[in-house]
Structure 1
């Protein structure tokens, strides 16, 4: 864990973002490999995509707003040390333009929902998929609150997937969660930088 933190510290913000894209590339390859062996046909995968725009926006939007509000409440009332991820999220999001932030969140939400919900949850169940999802965020393993938070968000998205059978709803919810929280991180960083600049 310490070695990983030291390695991350040597990366620039741009390299960290590229690292995120690299891990997403690995995940999408894994999703296709596992999907090939676990599903009887690609039509079974296709059946998980239901373009019901009203339901996607309504259900996905409500889920995202609830998750973001709970996250902001945790941020407000819990000790900062409990939620400290080493500044990685800030470093990933702070320098992104809005189009790049949108693109990153879109890629992450599509890839992770395909792998963890469409493939792993369908094959191995909700608890296993949520646990694997939480474990891959290994920088949270020594942060119980962050780890539990990620697990619960994954579990919640998994419940929505079980209820609706529509991967597009969880993709949209996941995207909105990441995008809104990314905007918050970006805004807080810019505000902090402005205060620092004005005080000079």
Structure 2
């Protein structure tokens, strides 16, 4: 009987370039899904745009500071937990070590923007905090079989969802998500080179 191929098996067969393009493709699909669902759920585009408020205090207190704290906790866990508990199949390592720092900035900004539009802007706005947070964790499928990563992504999703709940501002969640992904991406880039 043939062995069932795992996600790690499939990913290992992709080149770094193919892996990167798959990330861009999935994030583009999130944006397309967001706009299709949003078209039916929002009364008007102005309602959607009202979710975006540029408030530098909120960006610092609810985006930057929580993002940095989350990254510090993540790096402590990466350093002190056994690698097998925190291993995502090497995807983050491969992804972030195969591109330049400016590309890491672009990639993490695109990921933060596309995921926050879908999960907070569309799903949480219309279906609530719990549904958005759980769907966010499920979409990060490679974390579902590692209990430490699953708990980490669930907590991250709840924190970002709560930030959106208290600010009603997508810029704050995009900022927090971006800071987390960017700093962890830079950590992998520096550590693995």
Tell me the number of residue pairs that the alignment of Structure 1 and Structure 2 aligns. 190
Root-mean-square deviation (CA), in Å? 1.2
Contact 2:31 2:118 (8 Å CA) reproduced: yes
SS of residue paired to 2:184: helix
Corresponding residue of 1:105: 108
Runs of 4 or more, structure 1, over 4 Å off, are: none
Counterparts of 1:7 and 1:55, CA distance in 2: 41
Counterparts of 1:64 and 1:165, CA distance in 2: 17
Residue by residue over 1:59-118, the C-alpha shift from the partner in whole angstroms, topping out at 9 and shown as x without a partner, is 211110111011012112222111111111000000211111100001000000000001
Corresponding residue of 2:129: 126
Correspondences of 1:57-72 after superposition (within 5 Å): 57-72=60-75
1:39 deviates by 1.3
Q: Does 1:4 align with 2:7?
A: yes
Residue from 184, 188, 191 that aligns with 1:185: 188
1:57 deviates by 2.8
Counterparts of 1:6 and 1:145, CA distance in 2: 21
Q: Does 1:82 align with 2:92?
A: no
Counterparts of 2:143 and 2:165, CA distance in 1: 26
Counterparts of 1:154 and 1:166, CA distance in 2: 16
Contact 2:120 2:132 (8 Å CA) reproduced: yes
Counterparts of 2:60 and 2:102, CA distance in 1: 20
Residue from 66, 73, 77 that aligns with 2:76: 73
Gaps of 5+ in 1: 191-200
Counterparts of 1:85 and 1:174, CA distance in 2: 18
Counterparts of 2:61 and 2:133, CA distance in 1: 23
Gaps of 5+ in 2: none
Q: Which moved more, 1:19-28 or 1:50-59?
A: 50-59
1:147 deviates by 1.0
Residue from 32, 37, 42 that aligns with 1:34: 37
Corresponding residue of 2:53: 50
Corresponding residue of 1:164: 167
Q: Which moved more, 1:132-141 or 1:70-79?
A: 70-79
User: With structure 1 as the length reference, what TM-score do the two structures score?
Assistant: 0.91
User: With structure 2 as the length reference, what TM-score do the two structures score?
Assistant: 0.95
